[in-house]
């Protein structure tokens, strides 16, 4: 059974990475010395490896915001759940 919460990312820069990029949920192709085949078949295309850090930072930030939206109310609820019995002792 496939877990809907799990996503995969593939990064490739050559013709031998095309299958991996197409199989992943998100594919990043890097135009490099081996040609632009990976960039052509990918979801996102960047000109060099320097752009990869910025791309991962942006998408990591968006993922963090989505995960903390659920984490903070849960953390507050758990704190209240444990502190209420201690208060009434």
Q: What is the mean pLDDT of the chain?
A: 79
| pLDDT of 83 over the 80 cut | yes
- For position 28, what pLDDT does the model report? 87
The b/e string for 12-50 (b: 16+ C-beta within 10 A; e otherwise) is bbeeebbeebeebeebbbbbbeeebbbbebbebbbeeee
pLDDT (average), residues 45-56: 80
Pick 59 or 20 by higher pLDDT. 20
Q: Using a cut of 0.85, tell me whether the model's pTM lies above it.
A: no
């Amino acid at each position: 059974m496939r877990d809907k919460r799990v996503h995969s990312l593939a990064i490739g820069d050559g013709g031998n990475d095309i299958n991996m990029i197409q199989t992943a949920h998100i594919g990043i192709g890097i135009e490099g010395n081996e040609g632009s085949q990976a960039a052509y078949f990918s979801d996102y295309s960047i000109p060099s490896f320097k752009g990869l850090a910025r791309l991962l930072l942006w998408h990591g930030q968006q993922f963090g915001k989505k995960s903390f939206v659920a984490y903070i109310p849960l953390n507050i609820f758990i704190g209240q759940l444990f502190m209420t019995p201690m208060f009434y002792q």
